Amino acid sequence: MLSEKYSHLKLQRMENEFKYVLFEDTDMFNKAVSLLNSNNVDFFSFSFKGEKSLICSADEVFYSSPKEQNGWIGFKIIGEMPFGTVQGLISTISSCLMREEIGVCVVSTFQTDLFLVKKDRADKAIELLKNDGWGISG
């Protein structure tokens, strides 16, 4: 069940379907980031030890890669969550979903966390989270 320390938080299902794209070419990665920025599109970009990847709306067609994965649904955690003060939150969510072997990808920003699940498991994820006490909108 949802812990009292998280009871003020809610989940919001995001409208867009997301995709992951792994870039083998740094120039293409930089062009994609520039294009997404210029079009004022929400996205996540990662550059770590030579790996360049993006998570963005599946509607964005800017690059095709054999290392692209479509079909992710996002959930945003809504509520006051000062940086570094909500230990165990993602573990609580992922443990709930793990019961039905639903994998989770987490993206953390300074002010919130988002998690993504595969589209074909999104309805089951919502059911499990609601049963665990989470309020979900969207």
pLDDT tens digits for range 54-101: 999 888 766 667 788 899 999 999 988 766 656 778 888 999 999 899
| Of 137, 130, 129, 136, residue with least CA distance to 92 | 129
Average pLDDT for residues 94-122, to the nearest whole number?
91
The tens digit of pLDDT for each residue in 12-42 reads 999 889 999 999 888 989 998 999 999 888 8
Q: Is the dihedral of CA 45, 52, 17, 96 positive or negative?
A: negative
d(C-alpha 111, C-alpha 123), whole Å = 26
Q: 136 and 10 in contact (C-beta within 8 Å)? A: yes
Position 86 scores a pLDDT of 62
pLDDT reading at 105 higher than 70: yes
d(C-alpha 56, C-alpha 44), whole Å = 6
Instruction: Give the CATH fold of the 4-137 domain.
Output: VC0802-like (3.30.2130)
pTM, 2 dp:
0.85
- Sorted by where each begins, the domain ranges of the chain are 4-137
d(C-alpha 19, C-alpha 36), whole Å = 14
